[in-house]
Amino acid sequence: MEELRMTSTPAVEQASNPTLGSSKPSLKKALSVPKMGKKSAASPKRKEKKQKKTTPETDSTAAKPKSFRRIRGFITGESRRERRARKAAERAAAGQTGPVPDDEEETVYGVGGVDAESVARSKGDKLLDSDNKTAEITVDTSKKTPSIQVILLLMDGVTRRFELLQLEFDSTKAIVSDLLKQIPHSVTEEALRKQNYKAVCDRNGTELINSTRLNTFCTGSAEILVAVPEGMLPKEVARLSKPILSDEKVIAMLKSSGIDYAPVEPKKGSPSKSNRGIEVPEMKSQKKSSGTNKIWAFAAVALLAVVFQVIHVFLSSPLKPNQVLSPGITLHEAGLLSLLPFKESSSLEMGTQGTMTLYGPSKEIEWQIFGATCPAPSDDGCRNGAVLDDAGDLLIGGKAVTSVHVTGDAPLSPWPFEKAPKLRVVRVRG
């Protein structure tokens, strides 16, 4: 049985790249070994016993990656020097003086400054446990366990930095939360490492449950996932990841790592086939019908009409003061008519996690309100869902919300609220 002893450093030195800023400092305190003289030479038996010893930190339940690879870069359009030179020329032509304004908020399109770094877990490497302590890990290489490869994309909208981590985990132990725990120990960019991440989603913006095993959706080749920072939605980070994952440099580096990756292209709808006339045999109606059956049929139709009318009014009416919108309920501005394929209307969805979302006619997000959920069990009368009180305050999960994140042009009233709640509008880039 061959044993491999691995330890890890708290920080990995960043590869030098002029476009990525200064490199990260290496380990400050080196391990000191006292001089033992001739007596320090240990016999082979003592070495074997020493290698079999493990520290208590090795009992951590979080799965550690077997190896990982980094791809770093930044998103850019034209270079900052070109933008500043162009702006300086425009200001000089217009007779304006003073410093050139900051161009950090300009829209960017391309990807630049991409470099790659491969870090393999080998003998003598060091890993960090959850307490940022150096831990010795004894690995038995005689028992090979199936591994899973995951490509994790991290982005920072302020510094425009991004980093791709190629991680390899044990398929029998790794869960989604292990990806979030590995970020502070594997990322080299300071802005990305200090950023707080709340979840992981796929390229389509679907959030993954943290307790789910990676082998439930990672099959075959490496799966590309995106880390969701706090303050952002999975759909937003998925949209921002498209230009990065479609860049030729990134694709080439992924393929050089043995990953057969191709960007997802939108599927073009196939032309609909014209429906040909289908002859339906006419059913012979029964000639015998009693007056009682007609009365019951009329009563049933009338009852169904009343039921559908009540449902239609409930779905299409705006929220009134003191009316509760329970979790899992979706209101449609067109009511039951929204079920028709040719009818487009806005819809309001109350999520189970305290998030209220308004979708436009084309199913795009117009605005979102983030609230809370009641603790289970709740003894203080807290009720999940949204309710607008008489004072105009909106409560979600028993707590008042103060802001709405707007990405479109849809108003708050007269639909879906009869009276607009008192909320601070936070404009989010679409």
pLDDT at 168 over 80: yes
Comparing 253-262, 336-345, 359-368, which segment has the lowest mean pLDDT?
253-262
Dihedral class, residue 391 (left if φ above 0, else alpha if ψ from -120 to 50, else beta): alpha
pLDDT bin (cut points 50, 70, 90) of residue 79 is: low
The whole-chain average pLDDT of the chain stands at: 70
92 DSSP 8-state letter:
H
Measured between alpha carbons, how far is 10 from 26 in angstroms, rounded to an integer? 8
pLDDT value for 288: 56
CB 260 within 8 A of CB 221: yes
Measured between alpha carbons, how far is 374 from 399 in angstroms, rounded to an integer? 9
310-333, pLDDT tens digit by residue? 888 888 888 888 888 889 889 988
Q: What is the dihedral of CA 52, 57, 61, 62, to 10 degrees?
A: -110
Residue 140 vs residue 385, higher pLDDT: 385
pLDDT value for 101: 53
Domain range annotation of the chain: 3-23+54-256, 316-427
State percent of the chain over pLDDT 70: 60
DSSP per-residue string spanning 272-298: PPPPPP---PPPPPPS---HHHHHHHH
φ, ψ (nearest 5 deg) of residue 110: -95, -170
81-124, pLDDT tens digit by residue? 666 777 778 777 776 665 555 543 333 445 555 555 544 443 33
pLDDT at 47 over 50: no
Contacts of 126 (CB under 8 A, 6+ apart): 6, 7, 8, 9, 10, 134, 135
123 DSSP 8-state letter:
T
CB 58 within 8 A of CB 138: yes
Task: Enumerate the β-bridge partners of residue 169.
Answer: 148
pLDDT bin (cut points 50, 70, 90) of residue 144 is: low
Mean pLDDT throughout 425-429? 81
CB 225 within 8 A of CB 179: yes
CB 175 within 8 A of CB 214: yes
pLDDT value for 398: 83
373-394, pLDDT tens digit by residue? 888 766 667 888 899 888 888 9
pLDDT at 233 over 90: yes
28-40, pLDDT tens digit by residue? 333 333 344 444 4
Q: Which helix (H) or strand (E) holds 248?
A: helix 248-256
pLDDT at 14 over 60: no
For residue 413 the two structure tokens come to 């009233």
Residue 115 vs residue 170, higher pLDDT: 170
pLDDT at 235 over 90: yes
The CA distances from residue 423 to 153, 159, 370, in Å, are 33, 29, 12
CB 386 within 8 A of CB 350: yes
Mean pLDDT throughout 398-409? 87
pLDDT value for 200: 92
For the chain, the maximum distance between any two Cα atoms, rounded to a whole number of angstroms, is 114
Mean pLDDT throughout 208-212? 89
Sheet of 386-388, strand order: 324-325, 386-388, 394-396, 399-400
368 DSSP 8-state letter:
E
pLDDT value for 239: 92
**What type of residue is 152?**
L
CB 63 within 8 A of CB 174: yes
Q: Where are the extended beta strands (E) located within 86-135?
A: 110-120, 127-128, 134-135
For residue 8 the two structure tokens come to 């890890």
Mean pLDDT throughout 219-238? 86
Measured between alpha carbons, how far is 178 from 176 in angstroms, rounded to an integer? 5
Comparing 193-197, 336-340, 415-419, which segment has the lowest mean pLDDT?
336-340
Report the helix count and the strand count for the chain, using DSSP H and E.
Answer: 7, 21
How far, rounded to the nearest angstrom, does the alpha carbon of residue 26 sit from its chain's CA centroid?
A: 31
In the block, which residue shows the tokens 């679409």? Answer: 430
pLDDT at 284 over 60: no
Mean pLDDT throughout 114-137? 43
pLDDT bin (cut points 50, 70, 90) of residue 27 is: very low
Contacts of 375 (CB under 8 A, 6+ apart): 382
Model-level pTM greater than 0.75?
no
> What are the start-end ranges of the H helices in 72-171?
80-93
Measured between alpha carbons, how far is 78 from 205 in angstroms, rounded to an integer? 28
